[in-house]
Amino acid sequence: MMAAPATPLQRGSSAYRAIGWAGLVAGTLDITTAAVEFGLQGKGPVYLFQSIAGGLLGMSSFQGGLATAALGVFFHFLIATTASAVFYLASRKLRLLLEYAIASGLLYGVAVYIFMYFVVLPMSAYHTRIAVPPLVQLTRDVVVHMLMVGLPISLVIRKYSERRLLTG
């Protein structure tokens, strides 16, 4: 028996689910890694989240207490979800992103890192000059983005796309 084709509403719902879960998983893995790194430096999660909000608010974000920390959480997951939406949309045109989800996810993590570091950070309210970090830090940060951002996004998007791939 052949399944009936999905309606536009069903396809849209599946897309939102894929993007939402991918953003949640990647955002959670990434922020957990950052929290561990900040913790090893003696800085707590509130400081971490305020530093993210600082992209919009600048150094004043550290005087905003829990309100700016909450704003940082919101921005962090907004960015992760946006990255997931970009991958999802690209995967609709480039099927090889789903067929080779591991390789494409790892490469996507590198692309996300480059975009965040060389496009988003220079536009932030911190107004700092961006320089390439030392090789050890650069390697660690790129690997984190590959494994904790790009890979989970590609695998979750593929998971939610499998049924669509099978039915056409």
For the segment 83-99, what is each residue's pLDDT rounded down to a tens digit?
999 999 999 999 999 99
pTM given for the model? 0.88
Question: What is the mean pLDDT for each group of 10 consecutive residues in the chain (168 residues)?
Answer: 52 87 98 97 97 95 96 98 98 96 98 94 85 93 98 97 60
pLDDT score of 110: 98
CA distances from 38 to 43, 101, 126, 161 (A): 5, 30, 18, 35
Residue ranges per structural domain of the chain: 17-160
Per-residue confidence (pLDDT) for residue 50, from 0 to 100: 97
CA distances from 150 to 22, 63, 86, 93, 99 (A): 10, 33, 11, 18, 15
For the four alpha carbons of 62, 64, 65 and 69, in that order, the dihedral sign comes to: negative
Q: What is the pLDDT of residue 35?
A: 97
Angle of CA points 44, 47, 53, to nearest 5°? 145
The DSSP output letter for 147 is I
pLDDT at residue 126, as a whole number: 85
What is the model's pLDDT at position 22?
Answer: 98
**Residue 26 in contact with residue 149, Cβ under 8 Å?**
yes
**How is residue 132 written in tokens?**
């390439």
Specify the pLDDT at position 166: 46
Which of these, 157, 151, 147, lies nearest to 92 by C-alpha position? Answer: 157
Q: Please, which residues have CB within 8 angstroms of residue 23's CB and are 6 or more apart in sequence? A: 77, 80, 81, 82, 83, 84, 85, 153
> What integer pLDDT is reported at residue 130 of this predicted model?
78
Residues 98, 105: Cα–Cα separation, whole Å? 9
